[in-house]
Structure 1
């Protein structure tokens, strides 16, 4: 029975969420599968990928063929590297300890890259939030200044009677509002 490692779509319209599964090639896209290997959520930044590496390697060793997208995900998580290293162990080029050491070193390097990307995204988000707050404060200051200017009546200089009358008009207006 030919087996493919592929994505099985879940989620709602416009918000896809995928299961990474090993399935018979004759089965429907979202139909029956042999084993669930992990999940892939492209809605987050960076995309969330949870994958059972050992099961994925087992299926690759048994001859399962990944689809293009699944192959990219497996490569991103190091499944193809581990499969390659285990092939070297079978041929006698490496020992299991050396292969495991190389794989763990690669995983730590990859984790560091992902962490730095997340940190960079957090910094960008904080900078954007600070910029928006600054712009909002400027707009509020302009509004307050415009309201203060509108509240002061324009009286010609030297006309003290008009200046004395203006506060009483404001007092009457505030009494009416209450």
Structure 2
């Protein structure tokens, strides 16, 4: 029976995880399997691999064919290197001690590479975190500066408004005093104006009285003239009567 070492998918769609299984080549991808060797999580950086190395080496030595992804995982964990050395031991090309020594050296080099990669990732993450912190600090400083500027503008506006109010109230307080002085100055002028009409009124009254006095003699003169005329008229008939009497006397003679 042909056997493969492959991945069996599980987990959510966007956060998939995989089991490393030994299964018949005829079974479906997520179908029945013979043995589970470990699991693989590509969501972490670096990827998390949990593997039963002894069982994996046994199946590889028995002829199980890993898929491409599973081969990369087995190579990463040193299973394929162990197989290569064990084949040399089985053929008598090298001893088991030499094979173990070479595997230890390879494993040490591999661990150094892995650690260097982890350090690089940590350094990169620290750099990114520092960049994020710097960006956030700049944003906070800009926000604080904007808030302070806004507060300063508000304070300046309030101070300007208060200064304008004080400036508006100061002339308003000085204006009544200035207006009071002209009012006091205008009061005598008003009194003079009031006295002038009174004087004019008295003079006009005196003028009317004098005119009345002047008119009164005229009236008396006219009345005396009228009386003289009437006396003359009265005297005239007597004279005419006397004239008629004389004429009659002359006729009788």
Q: TM-score range by the shorter chain?
A: 0.7 to 0.9
Q: Deviations over 1:80-100 (max 9, x none)?
A: 111111110111001111111
Query: Could you tell me the TM-score, scaled by structure 1's length?
Result: 0.83
Aligned to 1:61: 61
Aligned residues: 164
Structure with the higher helix share, 1 or 2: 2
- Give the Cα–Cα distance (whole angstroms) in 2 for the partners of residues 163 and 135 of structure 1: 44
Task: State the structure with more CA Rg.
Answer: 2
Aligned to 1:103: 103
Distance 1:39 1:162, change over 3 A: same
- Give the Cα–Cα distance (whole angstroms) in 2 for the partners of residues 147 and 72 of structure 1: 56
Aligned pairs for 1:1-178 within 5 A:
1-151=1-151, 152-153=153-154, 154=156, 161-162=163-164
Q: Pick 1 or 2: higher relative contact order, CA cutoff 8 A, min separation 6.
A: 1
- Give the Cα–Cα distance (whole angstroms) in 1 for the partners of residues 32 and 106 of structure 2: 34
- Give the Cα–Cα distance (whole angstroms) in 2 for the partners of residues 30 and 78 of structure 1: 26
Give ranges in structure 1 of 5+ residues lacking alignment: 166-178
Query: Could you tell me the TM-score, scaled by structure 2's length?
Result: 0.60
Q: Deviations over 1:74-130 (max 9, x none)?
A: 112111111111110111001111111111221121111111111111111111111
- Give the Cα–Cα distance (whole angstroms) in 2 for the partners of residues 4 and 82 of structure 1: 19
